[in-house]
Amino acid sequence: MNDNSSNPQDSALDFCLRLARAQAVLVRRLDASLGNLHGLSFSDYQLLYHLQRAPGGRLRRVDLAERLALTASGITRSLLPLEKIGLVTRQADARDARVGYAVLTAAGQALLANAHVTAQAVSRELLSDAPADQLDTLSTLLGQLAGRPL
């Protein structure tokens, strides 16, 4: 067994490697469940989730990109299929035509409500053995690593 406690750099790398693997497992499970039950990817779910949490169910595209750690073109590519199926719509700013908003539609809200139940169930299943205090501590650490709270 490899003891990384004596070298903080090795511990940091070990954490990052384990985090990357855990993230891949988590995304795979959530993609499968959300896709099979709701026709959404986990990325779609996250996009809808952030819109739903925003005031008025809308965000500037640039703010949505920041929250999802995507580029502006990445957000545009992510929004297009959701717009086509009526889950999200575009809204121009009345005062500045250069500013565009992504807005969650009523259909998007309804689908998100159902998908949220699935995402919660998968998350609970994946983390069923983790004590709540450890999850809170790790969540704080991940928020610091990501540079912003959820």
What is the model's pLDDT at position 145?
Answer: 83
What is the model's pLDDT at position 66?
Answer: 92
Task: Provide the residue ranges of all domains of the chain, joining segments of one domain with +.
Answer: 8-146
At 64, the pLDDT band (50, 70, 90 cuts) reads: very high
Pick the CATH number of 8-146 from 2.160.10.10, 1.25.40.10, 1.10.3720.10, 1.10.10.10: 1.10.10.10
Cα–Cα distances in Å, from 11 out to 38, 46, 53, 86? Answer: 39, 30, 35, 46
Angle at 23 between CA 13 and CA 11, to 5 degrees: 15
Burial per residue of 25-64, b for 16 or more beta-carbon CB atoms within 10 angstroms, e otherwise = eeeeebbebbeeebebbbbbbbbbbbbeebeebbbebeeb
Burial of 101 (0-12, 13-18, 19+ CB in 10 A): buried
Percentage of the chain surpassing pLDDT 70?
A: 93
The amino acid present at 19, given as its one-letter code, is: L
Percentage of the chain surpassing pLDDT 90?
A: 71
Predicted confidence (pLDDT) per residue in 1-35, tens digit: 455 556 766 888 998 899 999 999 999 999 999 99
Q: Which two tokens stand for residue 98?
A: 């250069």
- Residue 37 pLDDT > 60, yes or no? yes
pLDDT average, residue stretch 40-67: 95
What is the model's pLDDT at position 1?
Answer: 47
pTM of the model: 0.86
Predicted confidence (pLDDT) per residue in 116-127, tens digit: 999 999 999 999
What is the model's pLDDT at position 5?
Answer: 53
What is the model's pLDDT at position 100?
Answer: 85
pLDDT average, residue stretch 32-42: 97
